[in-house]
Amino acid sequence: MQLAIFKNMIIFFTSFYFMDKLNKSSSYFIFNCIKYIFVSLILSLTMYFFKARFPYMSYFVPVACFTAFTCFNKKKWSLSTICISLSSYVINLLFFNVVSLVLCSLFVVFLNMSFTHVPGITITICALYPLILMCILKIKPVYKSISALIFNGMVNCNTVICLISLGTMTIEQVSPYHQYTTRRFRATIIPICLIIILYWWRAQISKNYREKLRLLEIQALRTSKSEDNAYIAKLEEENKRLGAIVHKDNRIVNAMADSVCTYLMTTEKTDINTLRLKGLSLSDEINSIKTYRQELLNQCVPNITSIPQTGYSGIDAIISFMTKEAAADNINLKFNFDGTFFNSIYSTANELDLVHLFSDLLENAIIATKCAHASSIELSLQMLKGTPTISVSDSGIPFEIDTYMKFGISEASTHTNEGGTGIGLLDTWTFKKKYHISLIIEELDNNIYSKRLSFLFDGKNRYLIISSRYQQIRSYQTRSDLLVISSSENNATYLTLS
């Protein structure tokens, strides 16, 4: 008697815990434990009473009380809450029986325990079961799958299966067959019911997942459609504007051509002053039309400023190409150089290597700057304290700390979603090692640029970072060749050059 009451009390108590865990209850844990232990004891006594007097109702009445108390405790009398509480108890009951069967078998097989020790085994199982349930609910895939089903109501098939399971357990209680026959029946039917419930859960999760994917795809298509419609409307408006200009030009050009022909035909018959005034008027009209059309043309063509020429065809070609690539993304790329830079650098560096370096640096800067509020890039070739220096500044977000640690070791990029692969950083590090140059990465705090990469041909082969995130970077530092300097230090950039 006492053992049966204790076992049912554990099942009811763990069912309450199961419910709170699934519903993410924020109530006080100790208060809930005391309350649930007391209620579980009352429900287990009720079940024992009905098993003795009314065995056909031995499961249904306590479960109804359990469900009613749950709704009263949660202050939510709804079909969803009733179904959830019913499912929580039935699934917990079935799982307890499966765990009991497994643990009992393990005790008998491995510890050579006799079935005469069933009371001791039952007490051990009751003591271990709450810990086992807590550990299972700590597994994220299990917890997430059950939570997803909870939020979808757990109605329909799951409720029917739970009621069938209770009916099966009731049939076992009132069965006139021998005790060992009913135990075999329990060992067979309970795992089957649990497997059916789990299969239905899995089917529901797959169905809900596919439905979410469908809704996300519809939302993405609607967003894309609205963007396309806005773009089409813009093109149509531009087309109307240009069509009106062309229509006007068709008349003006013909009129001006006729005016020029008339002017040329009357040159011999008109006096010089009248001819001069008419020619000036005609010239002013043509110039005004030319100016107006040039303004329209400038509105459609991106403004690419003239690029200074270095005199080295490969370098000029790659900088010109990357300037056009930047302009296509509305990025302003500036280039300036010191004439003495090439005189000092060409004795050590190869032009093809420089072309590859500029290509990697500018491509990375364009990717980093695409989504920035102020899109600006500057490539500078200068002599810094007598040392040839290549600097690239951009307004993109600073590097992630993980990128700093993987720089030159493995592929790493802060902008994988914008097309960054990290290969350019590896090639940049190869150039650094080949020419034993120092790499300095500065995180800037101004309104124009956010970071600057400087390559100093000083033969020291150093790797330095100047950042306001000094403490954060140092806490994650895993490289022995990296020196981190705080940007708050006075003359931080000057110190790195000394």
Alpha-carbon dihedral 100, 158, 68, 22, rounded to 10 degrees: 70
DSSP letters, 377-427, are EEEEEEEETTEEEEEEEE-SPPPPHHHHHHTTTS---S-GGGT--SHHHHH
461, 438 Cβ separation under 8 angstroms? yes
pLDDT score for 161: 66
Classify domain 313-497 by CATH number: 3.30.565.10
Q: Coil, strand, or helix at residue 193?
A: helix
442, 487 Cβ separation under 8 angstroms? yes
| pTM check: above 0.85 | no
pLDDT score for 153: 46
pLDDT tens column, 321-353:
899 888 888 888 999 998 888 888 766 788 889
- Which residues of the chain register pLDDT less than 70? 1, 22-29, 78, 80, 108-119, 142-187, 189-190, 193-194, 197, 201, 251, 263-264, 266-271, 290, 293-306, 346-347, 412-422, 489-498
pLDDT score for 442: 92
Q: How many residues does the chain have?
A: 498
pLDDT score for 173: 59
pLDDT score for 494: 47
The whole-angstrom separation of Cα 47 and Cα 54 is 10
Helix/strand/coil (H, E, C) string of 295-334?
HHHHHHCCCCCCCCCCCCHHHHHHHHHHHHHHHHCCCEEE
* Residue 205 in tokens: 């999760």
Any idea where the domains of the chain sit in the sequence?
2-218, 241-300, 313-497
pLDDT score for 489: 64
Query: What strands lie across the sheet with 482-486, from one edge to the other?
Result: 332-337, 376-384, 387-394, 451-456, 438-443, 463-467, 482-486
422, 411 Cβ separation under 8 angstroms? yes
What contacts 497, CB < 8 A, 6 or more positions away? 384, 385, 387, 456
Strand partners, 319: none
pLDDT tens column, 271-280:
677 777 777 7
